[in-house]
Amino acid sequence: MLLNPRPRPHHRPVRRRKAALLASAVSVCLLAAAAPPEPLGVGDRLFPYLGNPGYDVASYDLSFTYPGTNDKPLQAVTTIDAWTTADLDRINLDFAHGTVESVQVDGHPAAFTSAGEDLVVTPDTPLHEGNWTRIIVKHTSNPVAAKDQDGGWVRTLDGLAMANQADAAHLVFPSDDHPSDKAMFTFHITAPNGYTVVANGVPAGVDKVGDSTTWTYRTRHPMATELAQVSIGRSAVVRREGPHGLPVRDVVPSADRKVLEPWLAKTPDQIAWMEDKIGRFPFETYGVLMAEASTGFELETQTLSLFEKHVFTEPAYPQWYIESIMVHELSHQWFGDSVSPRTWSDVWLNEGHATWYEALYAEEKAHKPLEDRMKAAYGSSDRWRDSGGPPALPKVPAPGQKISIFRPNIYDGAALVLYALRQEIGRPAFERLERMWVQEHRDSTAGTADFVRLASSVAGRDLNGFFKAWLYGEKTPPMPGHPDWRATQAPKDAKGRARK
Ligand SMILES: [Zn+2]
């Protein structure tokens, strides 16, 4: 994710609080009795109720029927194939914004209720560890945000797009909504004729029946729920070839196709530039989705990054800046998508690397020295650590904070850690580490400890102390090779502004 330089004020009260308090009070009282349905999680420090214990999702099959207007619920069927990793009397799914009509488990109707932001399903017979199970939920998916919710469907001028990071996929479909449980996805989206639908992955069929059309897409690589994308709109799909025949397809409002073409044409060279740095593009296709929406951010949805169209048409942004944010989202396809974070505290690995390649691209293509940017980041780093926490220990998002965990400490603050590492171990070892990281953890999840281990192995020495200071310290350590770098005073107009 990259916050737009002009964020709009928005109130986002933190969800789950009430449910969490109730759940813990209740479970204390009824210790010995059968526990009531309660919201569960996988223990993420920042989002304790995301994900669920006891199963591992292998695939999602999502069917949505778009009614032709983006202010009414879509009819939906979510089919989940999962492997049980524990005996389960109940199955918790994350789902918090839609009406559930029915649930089936392995072909039998199952009871269900909601608890906090979980849909709690009770199958007619308990599930045993080490089995496949299929859960089918018939539900609605509501694109109109509830008063205290944000994210999930994005209503565009001509339809819908999706922005689920970090904790909003379960506002769209029932899921194990944590990046540690990646799965394969199939999408079937039915929309009135005249709309164009594109989702993650590659097309697997277009069926026109009467006045509606069903579009099917399938991923060829596992994906986190937060990276799902479905675009429904009056769109043009622009196709071209990337490096070594990689299919590139962009999705833009039909009326703006000509105006946006010069930007779209840049993607193949940007992919080639990234491949030169860290190796092959990790997925089956890539492209940008330019949506008629003001989200306040751009987002690395897998194989199809979401951008606000106005970023490309707003004359205030210099060309080099727009290109570097295109590279930011592109580099996330390796850092964040192919290698996804094991916990949300590892998000510095996503944003630190995306900021790193964004800045490196600006240095190589537009003569914006990386060292200048890193020196400026060094100056602010103590303040960022103070307000957002150290890069690998971000503070829990505060109530009403739309930017959630996406603060400067995990962007330039984390890129600064990578710069310090390159200073410490030298450029050849650093570049080898980057290539090995995306290779070793491809299509998987990895955390901070994995990065520290690999860096130590590549450098041939124990870097635990180095990373402990840089990733978890309250104060920024001295910069290797630049003993003169110092913290600077906050600029007078810095208050209340997001980064850049
Ligand atoms: Zn980002």
Q: What mean pLDDT comes out for the span 123-149?
A: 95
pLDDT of residue 498: 40
Ligand 1 center from residue 325 Cα (angstroms): 9
Q: What mean pLDDT comes out for the span 55-74?
A: 98
| Res 30 pLDDT > 70 | no
| Res 410 pLDDT > 80 | yes
Ligand 1 center from residue 132 Cα (angstroms): 35
Please report, rounded to a whole number, the percentage of residues in the chain having pLDDT higher than 70. 92
Ligand 1 center from residue 380 Cα (angstroms): 19
Ligand 1 center from residue 496 Cα (angstroms): 20
Bridge partner residues of 219 (DSSP)? none
Ligand 1 center from residue 472 Cα (angstroms): 21
The Cα 131–Cα 82 span in angstroms is 8
Ligand 1 center from residue 87 Cα (angstroms): 38
Ligand 1 center from residue 19 Cα (angstroms): 31
How do residues 368-407 score in pLDDT, each as one tens digit? 999 999 999 999 999 999 999 999 999 998 766 777 899 9
Q: Residue 53 corresponds to which tokens in the numbers above?
A: 């214990």
Q: Dihedrals φ, ψ of 92, to 5°?
A: -90, 130
| Res 211 pLDDT > 50 | yes
Q: What mean pLDDT comes out for the span 209-217?
A: 98
Nearest to 325 by CA among 266, 406, 247, 283: 266
Q: Residue 353 corresponds to which tokens in the numbers above?
A: 């690397």
| Res 23 pLDDT > 70 | no
Ligand 1 center from residue 498 Cα (angstroms): 14
| Res 11 pLDDT > 90 | no
Do 273 and 170 form a contact (C-beta atoms < 8 A)? no
Ligand 1 center from residue 305 Cα (angstroms): 11
Q: Residue 301 corresponds to which tokens in the numbers above?
A: 């949805």
Ligand 1 center from residue 140 Cα (angstroms): 30
Ligand 1 center from residue 410 Cα (angstroms): 9
Ligand 1 center from residue 299 Cα (angstroms): 7
pLDDT grade for 12, boundaries at 50, 70 and 90 = very low
pLDDT of residue 490: 86
Q: Which of 4-18, 25-39, 106-120, 371-385 has the lowest mean pLDDT?
A: 4-18
Q: Residue 220 corresponds to which tokens in the numbers above?
A: 């060829």
The Cα 118–Cα 142 span in angstroms is 16
Q: What mean pLDDT comes out for the span 183-202?
A: 98
Ligand 1 center from residue 323 Cα (angstroms): 14
Average pLDDT over the chain, rounded to an integer: 92
Ligand 1 center from residue 414 Cα (angstroms): 12
Ligand 1 center from residue 298 Cα (angstroms): 8
Ligand 1 center from residue 474 Cα (angstroms): 23
Q: In what order do the strands lie in the sheet with 111-115?
A: 91-94, 118-122, 111-115
Ligand 1 center from residue 473 Cα (angstroms): 23
> Which residues are CB-neighbours of 412 under 8 A, at least 6 positions away?
355, 373, 376, 377, 380, 384, 499
Q: Which of 140-154, 214-228, 323-337, 420-434 has the lowest mean pLDDT?
A: 140-154
Q: Coil, strand or helix: which one is 194?
A: coil
Nearest to 413 by CA among 349, 330, 367, 340: 349
Ligand 1 center from residue 2 Cα (angstroms): 4
Ligand 1 center from residue 118 Cα (angstroms): 28
| Res 249 pLDDT > 50 | yes
Ligand 1 center from residue 499 Cα (angstroms): 12
pLDDT of residue 149: 78
pLDDT of residue 397: 87
pLDDT of residue 8: 36
Tell me how far apart the terminal alpha carbons of the chain are, to the nearest angstrom.
Answer: 14
Ligand 1 center from residue 32 Cα (angstroms): 46
Ligand 1 center from residue 254 Cα (angstroms): 27
How do residues 275-311 score in pLDDT, each as one tens digit? 999 999 999 999 999 999 999 999 999 999 999 999 9
pLDDT of residue 34: 65
pLDDT of residue 22: 40
Q: What mean pLDDT comes out for the span 427-433?
A: 98
Q: What mean pLDDT comes out for the span 230-248?
A: 98
Instruction: List the Cα angle 427/428/434 in 5-degree steps.
Output: 85
User: Is this model's pTM higher than 0.85 or not?
Assistant: yes
pLDDT of residue 195: 98
Q: What mean pLDDT comes out for the span 454-473?
A: 98
Ligand 1 center from residue 417 Cα (angstroms): 16
Ligand 1 center from residue 296 Cα (angstroms): 13
In sign, the C-alpha dihedral spanning 359, 360, 366, 370 is positive
Helix ranges, 157-239 (H): none
Structural domains of the chain in order of their starting residue, each with its CATH number = 2-333 (2.60.40.1730), 341-472 (1.10.390.10)
Ligand 1 center from residue 181 Cα (angstroms): 20
Ligand 1 center from residue 352 Cα (angstroms): 8
Q: Residue 6 corresponds to which tokens in the numbers above?
A: 């002009």
Ligand 1 center from residue 345 Cα (angstroms): 14
Ligand 1 center from residue 409 Cα (angstroms): 12
Pairing of the two strands 339-341 and 305-308: unpaired
Nearest to 1 by CA among 362, 383, 358: 358
pLDDT of residue 431: 98
Q: Coil, strand or helix: which one is 46?
A: coil
| Res 496 pLDDT > 50 | no
Ligand 1 center from residue 93 Cα (angstroms): 27
Ligand 1 center from residue 408 Cα (angstroms): 11
Ligand 1 center from residue 335 Cα (angstroms): 9
Please report, rounded to a whole number, the percentage of residues in the chain having pLDDT higher than 90. 87
pLDDT of residue 25: 39
